[in-house]
Amino acid sequence: MPSAYVFTADIATIGILNVKSYGATGDGVTDDTAAINAALDDAASGTVVIFPAGTYLITAALTPPAGVTIEGQLAIIKMNNLGLAISVTVNDITIRGLHFTSTNSTSVAIQMYSSTSRLTIENCRCTEAVLFSSYRGVAYATIAVSEYCTDIIIRNNRCVSTTSTSITFSCILFFYCSNVIASGNIIVNYAHGVQFWGGDANPAVDGAIANVRKAKNIVISDNIVTGSIVGGVWGSMGEYITFTGNVISGCGDVGIDVEGCNRATIAGNTTHNCVGGGIATFSLNSQITIVGNCCSTTVANQYLIAVRNQTILPENKDLIISGNTLKGVGVIGQVFIECVGSILICDNQLLNVKIAWPSYNYINVHIHDNILDFNISPGAAFIALQVQQVFGGVGVSIANGFPITTSTNGIAVDVSNGDTIYGVSATGLVTIRLLRTRG
């Protein structure tokens, strides 16, 4: 047998193709686009196209056929100023183990187009580029269900921008998608971490309560997102949405946020120092459950949970905030609520956090069995628990074991000495607890 035996069988018949067999160099200098696309052109459904270790410079988008897996083995896809690395226009694509690098802050590593299904992106890295987008410029009013991107899994990827001002888009964007999972990803210094979009939540645009929510069945779990200029993990006009196990910190606006959504669960997440709210809701939402989360801040008056509604419509309703741990670390933080039709706040434990409810509200406002502790001097008197301007004056209950004062402005709770509605005194170190009462 010759000392250098070469196996010459058609390796496509055993389901593996190597891009270097088609002339790709992986030297980071030679343009490997044509060689890689030649390998992809030869790949039948079920084929794995291998990128051995190396740096592959591309100058045009790669276009895999249906049913193909692209697998990197310590492989870098060097995009330079290229706008798009991989264009997904067919079904049943898996992309794993590639590291995408770019010098263009608007570059997208993987773009998925209308009416495509079953895409998996896993164990990839992304530097100075968007990892995934299904944005395609389609308006809410014209997109049909048949045009949604569906059945997407994006998991265990690591995406980093060296400076948060260099990335102006979402790292992962589900634009008119259904049946998707984003899990176990690490995202650092993007404008947004993980975002879904099913329309503009503004009721004057797409967000009227009767309108269809065009992002559906989305799970965002166990991601770590830090340093976002705007939002950590959030979305607009979704239905059947789950956020669980995410760790979000240092966001310029919201940590976890739903806007104009129905049937969303936000459970078991951790947020820290998110300016617009560790957890937030905006516009008209329905059946939102916020349970078992831990939110903290070191910034005075920052929102731990914020329920915002630019209208005064009661269709923002059926919110539950229960079993959460909220902490102001050396400062007084707040839970901020406005314009709700029905809400239950119960069994939460708050440390140095006030509940501020200064806006229009409706009937069916219930606050029960919470613990409010204060162990710092606030520096000035403030209302620790306030519900104001309740329309109708019925259906409101506060049961925390302290006196309730009713006035034309609504309801406030005395957490001090029983003779003022302004709460914690400004003198000395105070520890004040609204004790649980049942019955």
Could you tell me which of 333, 324, 422 has the C-alpha nearest to residue 376? Answer: 333
- Residue 23 covered by a domain: yes
Q: What is the pLDDT of residue 402?
A: 40
Q: What's the number of domains the chain is made of?
A: 1
For residues 89-104, give the mean pLDDT: 96
How much is the pLDDT for 51?
98
- pLDDT score of 424 more than 70: no
Res. 122: pLDDT tops 70: yes
pTM for the full predicted model:
0.88
Identify whether the C-beta of residue 316 lies closer than 8 Å to the C-beta of residue 342.
no
pLDDT on residue 169: 86
> What confidence score (pLDDT) does residue 378 get?
61
**Which pLDDT score is estimated for 362?**
63
pLDDT beyond 70 at 123: yes
**Phi, psi dihedrals of residue 366, rounded to the nearest 5°:** -130, 125
DSSP conformation letters of 221-281: ES-EEE--SSEEEEEESEEEEEEES-EEE--SSEEEEEES-EEEEEES-EEE--TTEEEEE
Percent of the chain with pLDDT over 90: 67
In a domain, 100, yes or no: yes
Give me the amino acid identity at 142.
T
pLDDT tens digits for range 184-226: 999 999 999 999 999 999 999 999 999 999 999 999 999 999 9
- Note whether residue 96 is domain-resident: yes
- The helix/strand/coil state of 35 is helix
At residue 329, does pLDDT exceed 60?
yes
Stretch (H or E) spanning 172: strand 170-175
Q: What value does the mean pLDDT take over residues 404-432?
A: 32
DSSP class of 44: P
Can you give the pLDDT at residue 311? 82
Overall average pLDDT of the 221-232 stretch: 95
pLDDT band at 401 (very low <50, low <70, confident <90, very high): very low
427 occurs within a structural domain: no
Give pLDDT, residue 52: 98
Residue 210's CB is within 10 A of a number of other CB atoms, namely: 5
Return the higher-pLDDT residue of 352 and 124.
124
Query: In this prediction, what percent of the chain has a pLDDT beyond 70?
Result: 80
Residue 21 lies in a domain: yes
Determine how many CB atoms are found less than 10 A away from the CB of residue 401. 13
Question: Taking CA 168 as the corner, what is the angle to CA 162 and CA 171, rounded to the nearest 5 degrees?
Answer: 75
Q: What is the pLDDT of residue 208?
A: 93
Tally the C-alpha atoms within 13 A of residue 46's C-alpha that lie toward its C-beta. 5
| Range(s) of the domain holding residue 51 | 1-135
* H/E run at residue 373: strand 371-373
Cβ–Cβ under 8 Å, residues 399 and 434? no
pLDDT interval class at 375 (50, 70, 90) = confident
Query: Measured between alpha carbons, how far is 36 from 58 in angstroms, rounded to an integer?
Result: 9
pLDDT, tens only, 2-49: 333 333 334 444 599 999 999 999 999 999 999 999 999 999 999 999
Task: Report whether pLDDT(385) > 90.
Answer: no
Per-residue model confidence as pLDDT tens digits over 112-121: 999 999 999 9
Work out the mean pLDDT of the chain and round it to a whole number: 85
The C-alpha angle with vertex 128 and arms to 127 and 129, in degrees rounded to 5, equals: 95
Long-range contacts of 261-264 (CB under 8 A, 24+ apart): 261/201, 261/213, 261/235, 261/236, 261/237, 261/285, 261/286, 261/288, 262/213, 262/238, 262/286, 262/287, 263/239, 263/287, 264/238, 264/240, 264/288, 264/289
pLDDT, average across residues 39-62 = 98
Is 49 a domain residue?
A: yes
Q: Is residue 193 part of a domain?
A: no
Q: Is the pLDDT of residue 264 over 50?
A: yes
Is 76 domain-assigned?
A: yes
Residue of 323, 220, 322, 338 whose CA lies nearest to 277:
338
Given phi > 0 = left and psi -120 to 50 = alpha, else beta, which region is 128?
Answer: left
The answer to whether 107 and 79 are in contact (CB under 8 A) is yes
pLDDT given for residue 406 in this prediction? 34
